[in-house]
Structure 1
Amino acid sequence: MSALSPTLLAWICLILAGIMEIAGVFSMKKFSDTNNKIFLLAITFAFLMSFGLLSVAMREIPMSSAYAIWTGIGAGGGVIVGIVLFGESKSPSKLFFLLLVIGSSIGLKLVG
């Protein structure tokens, strides 16, 4: 059994960094709604993990690509979580711009 290549590990870290970004935004919303202090710990943990994993990913992935994809995962995931868990609007224009963010992130990777 072979070990993960550094590039594959970097991509895994980048995806996990994006997921932790979504967790941080989710925790912010929950703190805003409940004022429960446990969510402050969750916010701190999620964003520390997100930035830490992003920095690990950038050892192998160019900064421009890593940051664009991390931002896309966080922004897109935040919109999806807002729609699914918090009943936010899913208007056609909002979904169009969500697809534009995701498409732009992919495009930056392809041209990078």
Structure 2
Amino acid sequence: MPVCRNCGHEWPWKDTQRLSIRTHRGAVCQFCGEKQFQSRKSMRKVSLFHLLPLLVLPFVIVMDVSIVSGLALLFTAEAVFLTAFPWMVELTNKEEALW
């Protein structure tokens, strides 16, 4: 789980999930009130890991899986990403560009 760079408190899972939606604007730490941003390294890692659900599509096409099964695999891959997201995030005090 990410740790605030100002106060050192570990962010709760729910607050970290909110950060997944507002990556570029940052989020305010509920403990110290300072704005925190996702680090460049963390954004790159999350961007690559977010491709996981898309890797399911070629498998579905090649293996001739039914649409229902394909959608179930896609939603499962997305659920894995959303569950693992908080453990991949690192915070920083300043906003950094992705590339």
TM-score, length basis structure 1:
0.33
**Structure index of larger Rg:** 2
TM-score for the superposition, normalised by structure 2: 0.36
User: When you count helix as a share of all residues, which structure comes out higher?
Assistant: 1
Compare the two structures and name the one with the higher strand fraction: 2
Structure number with greater CO (CA < 8 Å, separation at least 6) is 2
